Amino acid sequence: MPFQLFQKIRNTIEQVVGGGRGVDEELYEELEASLIQADINVQTTQRLIGALRRAVEEEGIRSIQQAVEALKREMVAILEVGDPSTMGLKEASLPPTLYLVVGVNGVGKTTTIAKIAHMLQSRGKRVILAAGDTFRAAAIDQLAEWAQRTGTDLVRHREGADPSAVIYDAIRAARARSVDYVIADTAGRLHTRSNLMEELRKIHRVAERELERVPDEVLLVLDATTGQNAISQAKLFMKYIPITGIVLTKLDGTARGGIVLSIADDLKLPIKLVGTGERLEALEEFNARRFVDRLLEV
Amino acid sequence: MFDSLSEKLQNVFMRLRGKGRVTEADVNEAVREVRLALLEADVSLPVVRDFIGRIREKALGVEVLESLQPWQQVIDIVYKEMVALLGQQQAPLNVASTPPTIVMLCGLQGTGKTTLAAKLGTFLKKQGHRPLLVACDIYRPAAIKQLQVLGEQAELPVYALPEDQRKGPPTIARMAVEYARQHANDFVILDTAGRLAIDDELMDELGQMRAFVQPHEVILVVDAMVGQDAVNFAEQFHKRLALTGFVMTKLDGDTRGGAALSIRAVTGVPIKFIGTGEKLDAFEPFYPDRMAQRILGMGDILSLIEKA
Ligand SMILES: Nc1nc2c(ncn2[C@@H]2O[C@H](COP(=O)(O)OP(=O)(O)OP(=O)(O)O)[C@@H](O)[C@H]2O)c(=O)[nH]1
Ligand SMILES: Nc1nc2c(ncn2[C@@H]2O[C@H](COP(=O)(O)OP(=O)(O)OP(=O)(O)O)[C@@H](O)[C@H]2O)c(=O)[nH]1
Ligand SMILES: [Mg+2]
Ligand SMILES: [Mg+2]
């Protein structure tokens, strides 16, 4: 049975922390296995283990707790990319602030938009949602229902309409009604579909022209259950539009979402928000330390 | 990155030219490359370890054939072993001896269940069947509407309760099966809400639905981009629902789809279909050999082996 082995790996860290063992080869192997099983890619994993080895040597680390702590420190350092002051969502000095939300199919874009709207409304802001997914069956109805539940305005066109036009209208409506924020939904699209990616470029361009600046946030939504493919997603989305940050959804499951560590490492994209459920309140600001603790939890 | 597995193996064995037998050290080196390729394809670590163990055994002591380079032989072993693990042959849908055949779809959030209901319906309709789609997702905003719109596109009937008629999904499923009997629908496809395998309440609901309608197929819909977690939730869904099949969706992208190997290895349950796009005809039977080639990033390698 392969799964006895699996069970063994999962249990090791626990045993190790409990027992009187010191830092040895087996520990490195166990840690490496946990990192890989959290979906961190092999390259980042090896870099991390290499850094840990150096730290153990240089700092004379003996105990396993200290070693794990050093590893976590290294991971947090990778995750804290960019300027810490821009970790939250940016707000425009000249309203409306525009957030454009993009990603592959089914990752949680529409739900995340509802959650962000809810968060802003509860801070007394006014929000318009732009139903930019004019493609998927009942995608507009889904956003409309969220708009109703959160008490936000909605700008929608018919199914099949040009998504750029919807977002353009939403920006104008926000100005006319003095609304502070526009959050634009887009249809899920695989990053490998170049025609759909061109469409996204157009949406971005139209929004930029109307705003006379780039959108304040272009959020790439990634599903925490996603494996290595998330790197390809991030790379290709970045190629077409300037992504400003990542939203990592579905962290309430058993997946660890470690691939964002490789993305932060490789692509220097900050993770801004985390989705932890299907309810409106299930949205948190990303906290590197908390994320890392959870990632190595047994 | 992945496409170089064959190149890497070629390099490993380059210096072997003229040797009659593959040594343990050569095999170990080759196996390391295979391991890396599998991890990069999202095959879960325990499955990789198990798989690699078997490959090592088989690769050791392989006589180097005149016509083949050792790397080709290792690839050949890996490939054949993987096809076997993936199920060897195409697995058909279980069909009821007395209709209707009931197919229950379940899975994590956003994997493609609702779309798949309509795709499977379209596929069956083309074969002359009369499927009924059933909206059992009463939780997600506009989930019922989504199935209705898809049903309209596919020209398939959709069974849904009006919003004021509050019934639980297991009851809806039971009512739909009754409806299907009366309306001569020979397939009933149940779309359920996405859920986490650790959500006890919602998992119990599926268990109850299963007990109520005794489906002939209980299918877990899996996003092909999924990573290491696949073994966890596949095992849990299987434990609670005794799955009869898997469908892998979103294989139209550039994911290797190594999770196919993981879920099959931990549950022994066959993968029956794949989804290859958002359109309703983007749906195909699952072929183990094609999937193995995809996971390994093989393409041209196969023709090399075949020629030998
Ligand atoms: N468990 C969990 N489910 C989530 C989370 N975020 C979204 N979901 C669920 O994931 C599914 C897909 O969410 P959507 O918001 O429709 O995803 P999307 O990216 O807009 O999908 P498309 O528009 O079809 O590409 C829904 O069932 C959501 O309820 C989360 O943080 N945790
Ligand atoms: N590219 C691609 N997209 C797909 C495929 N199957 C489904 N999708 C898309 O994935 C997204 C989610 O599909 P749904 O059918 O709504 O998924 P679901 O599992 O019913 O989602 P929930 O009910 O929210 O859990 C939608 O945008 C679909 O169009 C596929 O094979 N390829
Ligand atoms: Mg959406
Ligand atoms: Mg659905």
Q: Which tens digit of pLDDT belongs to each residue from A112-169?
A: 999 999 999 999 999 999 999 999 999 999 999 999 999 999 999 999 999 999 999 9
Instruction: Kindly give the confidence (pLDDT) of every residue in chain A, 298 residues in length, as a single tens digit, with 9 standing for 90 and above.
Output: 344 445 555 555 555 555 567 899 999 999 999 999 999 999 999 999 999 999 999 999 999 999 999 999 999 999 998 776 666 899 999 999 999 999 999 999 999 999 999 999 999 999 999 999 999 999 999 999 999 999 999 999 999 999 999 999 999 999 999 999 999 999 999 999 999 999 999 999 999 999 999 999 999 999 999 999 999 999 999 999 999 999 999 999 999 999 999 999 999 999 999 999 999 999 999 999 999 999 998 7
Residue A254 to residue B231, Cβ atoms within 8 A: no
The residue among B59, B79, B103 whose CA lies nearest residue B244 is: B103
**Per-residue three-class SS string for chain A:** CHHHHHHHHHHHHHHHHHCCCECCHHHHHHHHHHHHHCCCCHHHHHHHHHHHHHHHHHHCCCEHHHHHHHHHHHHHHHHCCCCHHHCCCCCCCCCCEEEEEECCCCCCHHHHHHHHHHHHHHCCCCEEEECCCCCCCCHHHHHHHHHHHHCCEEECCCCCCCHHHHHHHHHHHHHHCCCCEEEECCCCCCCCCHHHHHHHHHHHHHHHHHHCCCCCEEEEEEECCECCHHHHHHHHHHHHCCCCEEEEECCCCCCCCCHHHHHHHHHCCCEEEEECCCCCCCEEECCHHHHHHHHCCC
Question: What is the value of ipTM here, to two decimals?
Answer: 0.94
**pLDDT score of B60:** 79
CA dihedral A20, A25, A27, A33 (to 10 degrees): -160
Kindly list the protein residues whose Cβ atom lies closer than 6 A to any atom of ligand 2: A 105-106, 136, 188, 190; B 107, 109-115, 137, 140, 143, 193-194, 249-250, 252, 275-278, 282
**pLDDT score of A2:** 41
Taking a C-beta distance cutoff of 8 angstroms, is the pair A113, A197 a contact?
no
Name every chain B residue with its beta carbon within 8 A of the beta carbon of A107: 110
Of ligand 1's atoms, which has the minimum distance to the CA of residue A249?
Answer: 31
The residue among A202, A118, A125 whose CA lies nearest residue A168 is: A202
- pLDDT tens digit sequence for B130-146: 999 999 999 999 999 99
A177 Cα distance to chain centroid? 31
| C-alpha of residue B219 to centroid of ligand 1, in Å | 20
Kindly list the protein residues whose Cβ atom lies closer than 6 A to any atom of ligand 1: A 103, 105-111, 133, 136, 139, 188, 249-250, 252-253, 275-278, 282; B 109-110, 140, 194, 196
Candidates B36, B110, B142; nearest CB to A141 = B142
Of ligand 2's atoms, which has the minimum distance to the CA of residue B195?
Answer: 25
Per the model's pLDDT, the better-predicted residue between B9 and A192 turns out to be A192
The neighbouring-strand residues paired with A124 are none
- A83 annotated as a binding-site residue: no
CB count within 10 Å of CB A85 equals: 7
CA dist., res. B173 & res. B219, Å (int): 15
Residue B46 to residue A5, Cβ atoms within 8 A: yes
The neighbouring-strand residues paired with B102 are B188
CA dist., res. B1 & res. B114, Å (int): 34
Q: Is B179 helix (H, G, I), strand (E, B) or coil?
A: helix
The residue among B231, B230, B283, B211 whose CA lies nearest residue B252 is: B283
User: Would you say the C-alpha torsion B72, B75, B81, B85 has a positive or negative sign?
Assistant: negative
- A186 annotated as a binding-site residue: yes
CA dist., res. A129 & res. A131, Å (int): 6
Q: Which two tokens stand for residue B263?
A: 């879920």
CA dihedral B41, B42, B46, B48 (to 10 degrees): -10
The residue among B7, B66, B1 whose CA lies nearest residue B39 is: B1
Candidates B50, B109, B227; nearest CB to A226 = B227
Pocket test for ligand 1, best of A100, A102, A110, A159 (most atoms within 8 A of CB): A110
CA dist., res. A88 & res. A111, Å (int): 19
The residue among B282, B70, B223 whose CA lies nearest residue A103 is: B223
Q: Which two tokens stand for residue A65?
A: 């707790």
Is pLDDT above 70 for B66?
no
Q: In a 10 Å sphere around its CB, with 0-12 CB exposed, 13-18 middle and 19+ buried, how is residue A264 labelled?
A: buried
**pLDDT score of B30:** 81
Q: Which two tokens stand for residue B99?
A: 């209709």
- Check: pTM over 0.80? Answer yes or no: yes
Residue with tokens 């599998």: B38
Q: Which two tokens stand for residue A123?
A: 């801070």
- Which of A15-24, B19-28, B192-201 holds the top average pLDDT? B192-201
**pLDDT score of B72:** 75
Residue with tokens 């082996």: B305
| C-alpha of residue A106 to centroid of ligand 3, in Å | 7
Candidates B40, B197, B223; nearest CB to A42 = B40
What Cα–Cα distance (Å) separates residue A129 from each residue in A140, A166, A199?
Answer: 11, 10, 19
Query: Which structural domains are found in chain A, ordered by start?
Result: 4-79 (1.20.120.140), 84-295 (3.40.50.300)
Amino acid identity, position B106: C
CA dist., res. A153 & res. A155, Å (int): 7
Q: What is the DSSP letter of B4?
A: G
Residue with tokens 């391991």: B35
- A107 annotated as a binding-site residue: yes
Is pLDDT above 50 for B2?
no
Q: What is the DSSP letter of B168?
A: -
Burial B162-174 (b: 16+ CB within 10 A, else e): eeeeeeebbebbb
Mutate to test the interface with B, among A229, A250, A252 (most CBs of B within 10 A): A229
